[in-house]
Protein backbone atom coordinates (compact mmCIF):
# COMPACT_ATOMS: atom_id res chain seq x y z
CA UNK A 1 0.00 0.00 0.00
CA UNK A 2 2.80 2.40 0.92
CA UNK A 3 4.65 1.50 -2.26
CA UNK A 4 1.54 2.24 -4.36
CA UNK A 5 1.05 5.66 -2.72
CA UNK A 6 4.72 6.49 -3.24
CA UNK A 7 4.41 5.61 -6.92
CA UNK A 8 1.38 7.89 -7.35
CA UNK A 9 3.18 10.83 -5.72
CA UNK A 10 6.26 10.34 -7.89
CA UNK A 11 4.07 10.09 -11.00
CA UNK A 12 2.37 13.45 -10.42
CA UNK A 13 5.64 15.12 -9.48
CA UNK A 14 7.34 13.75 -12.56
CA UNK A 15 4.60 14.96 -14.89
CA UNK A 16 4.19 18.28 -13.10
CA UNK A 17 0.51 17.53 -12.53
CA UNK A 18 -1.42 18.43 -9.43
CA UNK A 19 -3.58 15.51 -8.22
CA UNK A 20 -6.33 17.95 -7.23
CA UNK A 21 -6.29 19.49 -10.69
CA UNK A 22 -5.89 16.31 -12.74
CA UNK A 23 -9.58 16.26 -13.64
CA UNK A 24 -9.36 19.82 -14.99
CA UNK A 25 -7.12 19.34 -17.97
CA UNK A 26 -6.12 22.55 -19.74
CA UNK A 27 -6.72 21.62 -23.37
CA UNK A 28 -5.23 24.88 -24.62
CA UNK A 29 -2.01 24.19 -22.73
CA UNK A 30 -1.97 20.66 -24.14
CA UNK A 31 -2.37 22.12 -27.63
CA UNK A 32 0.61 24.44 -27.13
CA UNK A 33 2.72 21.51 -25.93
CA UNK A 34 1.71 19.49 -28.99
CA UNK A 35 2.78 22.40 -31.22
CA UNK A 36 6.19 22.49 -29.55
CA UNK A 37 6.70 18.82 -30.41
CA UNK A 38 6.33 19.62 -34.12
CA UNK A 39 9.37 21.38 -35.56
CA UNK A 40 7.47 23.45 -38.15
CA UNK A 41 4.74 24.51 -35.70
CA UNK A 42 7.27 25.37 -33.01
CA UNK A 43 9.44 27.44 -35.37
CA UNK A 44 6.60 29.52 -36.84
CA UNK A 45 4.92 29.96 -33.46
CA UNK A 46 8.17 31.21 -31.94
CA UNK A 47 8.55 33.58 -34.90
CA UNK A 48 5.19 35.30 -34.42
CA UNK A 49 5.52 35.40 -30.63
CA UNK A 50 8.89 37.09 -30.94
CA UNK A 51 7.66 39.56 -33.57
CA UNK A 52 4.40 40.44 -31.81
CA UNK A 53 6.09 40.91 -28.43
CA UNK A 54 8.89 43.16 -29.69
CA UNK A 55 8.31 46.67 -28.36
CA UNK A 56 9.31 49.46 -30.76
CA UNK A 57 9.05 52.54 -28.55
CA UNK A 58 7.14 54.02 -25.68
CA UNK A 59 4.41 55.02 -28.13
CA UNK A 60 4.23 51.78 -30.14
CA UNK A 61 3.96 48.47 -28.39
CA UNK A 62 4.90 46.49 -31.49
CA UNK A 63 5.08 46.48 -35.26
CA UNK A 64 1.52 45.44 -35.99
CA UNK A 65 2.08 44.95 -39.71
CA UNK A 66 4.95 42.51 -39.12
CA UNK A 67 2.97 40.79 -36.36
CA UNK A 68 0.05 40.22 -38.74
CA UNK A 69 2.36 38.86 -41.42
CA UNK A 70 3.93 36.40 -38.99
CA UNK A 71 0.48 35.27 -37.83
CA UNK A 72 -0.68 34.69 -41.41
CA UNK A 73 2.40 32.57 -42.08
CA UNK A 74 1.69 30.51 -38.97
CA UNK A 75 -1.94 29.76 -39.84
CA UNK A 76 -1.23 29.28 -43.55
CA UNK A 77 1.82 27.01 -43.23
CA UNK A 78 1.11 24.94 -40.11
CA UNK A 79 -1.37 22.05 -40.43
CA UNK A 80 -4.78 22.69 -38.91
CA UNK A 81 -4.37 19.74 -36.53
CA UNK A 82 -2.06 22.04 -34.54
CA UNK A 83 -3.46 25.53 -35.20
CA UNK A 84 -7.10 24.56 -34.66
CA UNK A 85 -6.29 22.85 -31.36
CA UNK A 86 -4.72 26.06 -30.08
CA UNK A 87 -7.41 28.36 -31.42
CA UNK A 88 -10.58 26.36 -30.70
CA UNK A 89 -9.64 24.35 -27.60
CA UNK A 90 -12.43 23.77 -25.08
CA UNK A 91 -12.12 25.27 -21.59
CA UNK A 92 -13.67 24.73 -18.19
CA UNK A 93 -11.92 27.49 -16.27
CA UNK A 94 -10.82 31.07 -16.79
CA UNK A 95 -7.10 30.29 -16.93
CA UNK A 96 -7.65 28.02 -19.92
CA UNK A 97 -9.96 30.52 -21.63
CA UNK A 98 -7.43 33.31 -21.15
CA UNK A 99 -4.71 31.19 -22.74
CA UNK A 100 -7.07 30.60 -25.66
CA UNK A 101 -7.71 34.34 -25.99
CA UNK A 102 -3.96 35.02 -25.89
CA UNK A 103 -3.24 32.56 -28.72
CA UNK A 104 -2.87 35.43 -31.22
CA UNK A 105 -1.26 37.83 -28.71
CA UNK A 106 -4.13 40.35 -28.79
CA UNK A 107 -2.17 43.25 -27.30
CA UNK A 108 -0.45 43.61 -30.66
CA UNK A 109 -2.42 41.76 -33.32
CA UNK A 110 -5.96 42.49 -32.13
CA UNK A 111 -6.42 45.31 -29.65
CA UNK A 112 -5.76 48.99 -30.19
CA UNK A 113 -6.09 52.20 -28.20
CA UNK A 114 -9.62 52.82 -29.48
CA UNK A 115 -12.13 50.65 -31.27
CA UNK A 116 -12.77 51.82 -34.83
CA UNK A 117 -16.19 51.71 -36.45
CA UNK A 118 -16.91 48.24 -37.85
CA UNK A 119 -17.94 49.59 -41.26
CA UNK A 120 -14.71 51.57 -41.48
CA UNK A 121 -12.82 48.39 -40.62
CA UNK A 122 -14.78 46.50 -43.28
CA UNK A 123 -13.97 49.14 -45.89
CA UNK A 124 -10.31 48.93 -44.93
CA UNK A 125 -10.42 45.16 -45.40
CA UNK A 126 -12.16 45.45 -48.75
CA UNK A 127 -9.35 47.72 -49.92
CA UNK A 128 -6.89 44.81 -49.61
CA UNK A 129 -7.47 42.06 -52.18
CA UNK A 130 -6.40 39.23 -49.86
CA UNK A 131 -8.40 40.45 -46.88
CA UNK A 132 -11.40 41.03 -49.15
CA UNK A 133 -11.17 37.45 -50.39
CA UNK A 134 -10.85 36.03 -46.87
CA UNK A 135 -13.84 38.07 -45.66
CA UNK A 136 -15.93 36.82 -48.59
CA UNK A 137 -14.97 33.23 -47.71
CA UNK A 138 -16.04 33.81 -44.12
CA UNK A 139 -19.46 35.13 -45.13
CA UNK A 140 -19.93 32.24 -47.58
CA UNK A 141 -18.88 29.41 -45.24
CA UNK A 142 -20.13 30.73 -41.90
CA UNK A 143 -23.41 32.30 -42.96
CA UNK A 144 -26.35 31.05 -40.92
CA UNK A 145 -28.34 28.33 -42.69
CA UNK A 146 -31.75 27.45 -41.27
CA UNK A 147 -32.09 24.40 -43.54
CA UNK A 148 -29.26 22.44 -41.87
CA UNK A 149 -28.86 20.72 -38.52
CA UNK A 150 -25.72 22.61 -37.52
CA UNK A 151 -26.81 26.05 -38.85
CA UNK A 152 -23.81 25.93 -41.22
CA UNK A 153 -24.01 25.68 -45.01
CA UNK A 154 -23.98 21.97 -45.99
CA UNK A 155 -23.37 21.16 -42.30
CA UNK A 156 -19.68 21.86 -42.97
CA UNK A 157 -17.94 22.91 -39.76
CA UNK A 158 -14.46 22.63 -41.23
CA UNK A 159 -15.13 25.21 -43.96
CA UNK A 160 -16.37 27.73 -41.38
CA UNK A 161 -13.43 27.18 -39.02
CA UNK A 162 -10.98 27.47 -41.90
CA UNK A 163 -12.55 30.76 -43.03
CA UNK A 164 -12.44 32.12 -39.49
CA UNK A 165 -8.76 31.21 -39.10
CA UNK A 166 -8.08 32.78 -42.51
CA UNK A 167 -9.20 36.16 -41.15
CA UNK A 168 -6.41 36.22 -38.56
CA UNK A 169 -3.49 38.41 -39.54
CA UNK A 170 -5.45 41.35 -40.94
CA UNK A 171 -6.99 44.50 -39.48
CA UNK A 172 -10.25 42.50 -39.44
CA UNK A 173 -8.66 39.86 -37.15
CA UNK A 174 -11.34 38.30 -34.89
CA UNK A 175 -10.73 37.01 -31.38
CA UNK A 176 -12.51 35.98 -28.18
CA UNK A 177 -13.92 39.05 -26.49
CA UNK A 178 -13.24 37.81 -22.93
CA UNK A 179 -11.99 34.90 -20.82
CA UNK A 180 -15.39 33.43 -20.04
CA UNK A 181 -15.05 29.65 -20.35
CA UNK A 182 -18.79 28.95 -20.45
CA UNK A 183 -19.73 31.12 -23.42
CA UNK A 184 -18.04 31.70 -26.75
CA UNK A 185 -18.26 35.20 -28.22
CA UNK A 186 -15.83 36.32 -30.92
CA UNK A 187 -15.58 39.65 -32.68
CA UNK A 188 -13.26 41.92 -34.61
CA UNK A 189 -11.87 44.83 -32.60
CA UNK A 190 -14.59 47.34 -33.52
CA UNK A 191 -17.92 48.83 -32.49
CA UNK A 192 -20.90 50.47 -34.18
CA UNK A 193 -20.65 53.79 -32.38
CA UNK A 194 -20.90 56.76 -34.69
CA UNK A 195 -22.50 54.77 -37.52
CA UNK A 196 -25.25 57.37 -38.06
CA UNK A 197 -27.90 56.15 -40.49
CA UNK A 198 -25.74 53.08 -41.22
CA UNK A 199 -26.07 51.72 -37.70
CA UNK A 200 -28.45 48.91 -38.70
CA UNK A 201 -26.07 47.68 -41.39
CA UNK A 202 -23.16 47.95 -38.96
CA UNK A 203 -24.95 45.92 -36.28
CA UNK A 204 -25.85 43.27 -38.84
CA UNK A 205 -22.23 42.98 -39.92
CA UNK A 206 -20.98 42.75 -36.33
CA UNK A 207 -23.56 40.07 -35.46
CA UNK A 208 -22.10 37.88 -38.21
CA UNK A 209 -19.34 37.32 -35.65
CA UNK A 210 -20.87 37.91 -32.22
CA UNK A 211 -24.25 36.20 -32.71
CA UNK A 212 -23.51 33.57 -35.34
CA UNK A 213 -24.83 30.10 -34.36
CA UNK A 214 -22.91 28.42 -37.20
CA UNK A 215 -19.57 29.81 -36.02
CA UNK A 216 -20.34 29.21 -32.36
CA UNK A 217 -21.48 25.62 -32.97
CA UNK A 218 -18.41 24.92 -35.12
CA UNK A 219 -16.01 26.16 -32.41
CA UNK A 220 -17.81 24.27 -29.65
CA UNK A 221 -18.01 21.07 -31.69
CA UNK A 222 -14.29 21.13 -32.45
CA UNK A 223 -13.35 21.81 -28.83
CA UNK A 224 -15.62 19.03 -27.61
CA UNK A 225 -14.52 16.62 -30.31
CA UNK A 226 -18.05 16.25 -31.68
CA UNK A 227 -17.33 17.57 -35.17
CA UNK A 228 -16.30 14.16 -36.48
CA UNK A 229 -19.86 13.29 -37.48
CA UNK A 230 -20.35 16.37 -39.61
CA UNK A 231 -21.22 15.64 -43.22
CA UNK A 232 -18.37 15.79 -45.77
CA UNK A 233 -17.97 18.91 -47.87
CA UNK A 234 -19.18 17.25 -51.06
CA UNK A 235 -21.53 14.45 -49.97
CA UNK A 236 -22.49 11.84 -52.53
CA UNK A 237 -26.17 11.00 -52.60
CA UNK A 238 -26.69 7.57 -54.13
CA UNK A 239 -30.44 7.93 -53.79
CA UNK A 240 -30.55 10.27 -56.78
CA UNK A 241 -29.86 7.41 -59.21
CA UNK A 242 -32.96 6.66 -61.27
CA UNK A 243 -34.23 3.09 -61.23
CA UNK A 244 -33.28 1.08 -64.32
CA UNK A 245 -36.27 0.46 -66.54
CA UNK A 246 -35.07 -2.90 -67.87
CA UNK A 247 -35.46 -4.43 -64.42
CA UNK A 248 -39.12 -3.45 -64.19
CA UNK A 249 -41.29 -6.61 -64.19
CA UNK A 250 -43.84 -7.11 -66.95
CA UNK A 251 -47.23 -5.60 -66.21
CA UNK A 252 -50.39 -7.66 -65.80
CA UNK A 253 -52.96 -7.22 -68.53
CA UNK A 254 -55.35 -5.38 -66.24
CA UNK A 255 -52.85 -2.57 -65.47
CA UNK A 256 -52.35 0.42 -67.73
CA UNK A 257 -49.10 2.24 -68.46
CA UNK A 258 -50.26 5.21 -66.40
CA UNK A 259 -50.64 2.97 -63.34
CA UNK A 260 -47.09 1.68 -63.85
CA UNK A 261 -45.78 5.25 -64.06
CA UNK A 262 -47.53 6.26 -60.88
CA UNK A 263 -45.96 3.34 -58.99
CA UNK A 264 -42.50 4.23 -60.29
CA UNK A 265 -42.91 7.86 -59.24
CA UNK A 266 -43.96 6.98 -55.71
CA UNK A 267 -41.02 4.56 -55.30
CA UNK A 268 -38.50 7.13 -56.52
CA UNK A 269 -39.95 9.96 -54.45
CA UNK A 270 -40.08 7.87 -51.29
CA UNK A 271 -36.48 6.73 -51.76
CA UNK A 272 -35.23 10.28 -52.27
CA UNK A 273 -37.27 11.83 -49.46
CA UNK A 274 -36.06 9.23 -46.97
CA UNK A 275 -32.52 10.49 -47.58
CA UNK A 276 -33.56 14.03 -46.61
CA UNK A 277 -32.63 15.61 -49.95
CA UNK A 278 -33.76 19.11 -50.84
CA UNK A 279 -35.96 20.05 -53.75
CA UNK A 280 -33.55 22.48 -55.26
CA UNK A 281 -30.69 19.97 -55.29
CA UNK A 282 -32.38 16.81 -56.55
CA UNK A 283 -33.38 16.19 -60.15
CA UNK A 284 -35.56 13.29 -59.07
CA UNK A 285 -37.50 15.41 -56.58
CA UNK A 286 -38.10 17.96 -59.31
CA UNK A 287 -39.42 15.12 -61.48
CA UNK A 288 -41.54 13.88 -58.60
CA UNK A 289 -43.10 17.30 -58.14
CA UNK A 290 -43.83 17.69 -61.85
CA UNK A 291 -45.17 14.21 -62.47
CA UNK A 292 -47.26 13.99 -59.33
CA UNK A 293 -49.14 17.10 -60.41
CA UNK A 294 -49.61 16.02 -64.03
CA UNK A 295 -50.68 12.82 -65.74
CA UNK A 296 -48.15 11.61 -68.29
CA UNK A 297 -48.98 8.81 -70.70
CA UNK A 298 -45.83 6.95 -71.81
CA UNK A 299 -45.38 6.77 -75.56
CA UNK A 300 -47.52 9.84 -76.21
CA UNK A 301 -47.06 13.60 -76.18
CA UNK A 302 -50.12 14.16 -74.02
CA UNK A 303 -49.74 15.70 -70.59
CA UNK A 304 -53.02 15.96 -68.74
CA UNK A 305 -53.84 18.34 -65.95
CA UNK A 306 -54.31 17.17 -62.37
CA UNK A 307 -58.11 17.32 -62.70
CA UNK A 308 -58.19 14.61 -65.37
CA UNK A 309 -60.42 11.75 -64.30
CA UNK A 310 -58.80 8.37 -63.50
CA UNK A 311 -55.57 9.49 -65.12
CA UNK A 312 -57.23 9.53 -68.57
CA UNK A 313 -57.09 12.38 -71.05
CA UNK A 314 -60.09 14.54 -71.60
CA UNK A 315 -62.53 13.80 -74.50
CA UNK A 316 -60.55 16.12 -76.77
CA UNK A 317 -58.75 13.06 -78.24
CA UNK A 318 -62.10 11.42 -79.07
CA UNK A 319 -63.28 14.57 -80.86
CA UNK A 320 -60.07 14.63 -82.85
CA UNK A 321 -60.64 11.03 -83.98
CA UNK A 322 -64.24 11.76 -85.08
CA UNK A 323 -63.09 14.81 -87.01
CA UNK A 324 -60.44 12.75 -88.78
CA UNK A 325 -63.07 10.11 -89.73
CA UNK A 326 -65.45 12.71 -91.17
CA UNK A 327 -62.65 14.22 -93.24
CA UNK A 328 -61.78 10.77 -94.57
CA UNK A 329 -65.41 10.10 -95.59
CA UNK A 330 -65.63 13.51 -97.22
CA UNK A 331 -62.63 12.70 -99.37
Classify residue 329: in a domain, yes or no. no
pLDDT digits (tens, 9 = 90+) for 250-275: 333 333 333 333 333 333 333 333 33
Give a yes or no: residue 195 inside a domain. yes
Q: Is the Cβ–Cβ distance between 83 and 44 less than 8 Å?
A: no
- Of 97 and 285, more confident: 97
Range with top average pLDDT, 66-70, 255-259, 321-325: 66-70
Does residue 192 form part of some domain? yes
Q: What is the pLDDT of residue 245?
A: 41
Q: Report the number of distinct structural domains present in the chain.
A: 1
User: Beta partners for 188?
Assistant: 174
- Whether 224 is covered by a domain: the verdict is yes
Query: What pLDDT was estimated at residue 118?
Result: 97
137-189 pLDDT tens trace: 999 999 999 888 889 999 999 999 999 999 999 999 999 999 999 889 999 99
Q: Global pTM?
A: 0.63
Q: Give the Å distances, CA to CA, from 165 to 69, 88, 161, 162, 184.
A: 14, 10, 6, 5, 15
The answer to whether the CB of 12 falls within 8 A of the CB of 49 is no
- Is 235 inside any structural domain? no
Tell me whether residue 312 is in a domain: no
The answer to whether residue 266 is domain-embedded is no
What pLDDT band is residue 43 in, cutting at 50, 70 and 90?
A: very high
What is the span of the domain harbouring residue 61?
Answer: 27-229
Where is 186: in which H helix or E strand?
strand 186-188
Assign residue 142 the CATH number of its domain: 1.10.220.110
182 in a domain, yes or no?
Answer: yes
Q: Convert the pLDDT of each residue in 272-310 to its tens digit.
A: 333 343 444 433 333 333 333 333 333 334 444 444 444
Is the pLDDT assigned to residue 67 strictly greater than 50? yes
Distance, CA of 158 to chain centre = 6
pLDDT above 50 (res 54): yes
Amino acid sequence: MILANTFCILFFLGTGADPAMSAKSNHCLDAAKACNLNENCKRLRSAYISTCNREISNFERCNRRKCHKALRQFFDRVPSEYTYRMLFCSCRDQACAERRRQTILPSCSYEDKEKPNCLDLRNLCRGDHLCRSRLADFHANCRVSYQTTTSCPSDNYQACLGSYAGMIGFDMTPNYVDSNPTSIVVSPWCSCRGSGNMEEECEKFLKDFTENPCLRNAIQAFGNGTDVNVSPKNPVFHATQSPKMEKTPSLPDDLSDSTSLGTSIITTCTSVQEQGLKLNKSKELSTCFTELTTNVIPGSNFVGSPDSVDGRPRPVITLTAVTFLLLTLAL
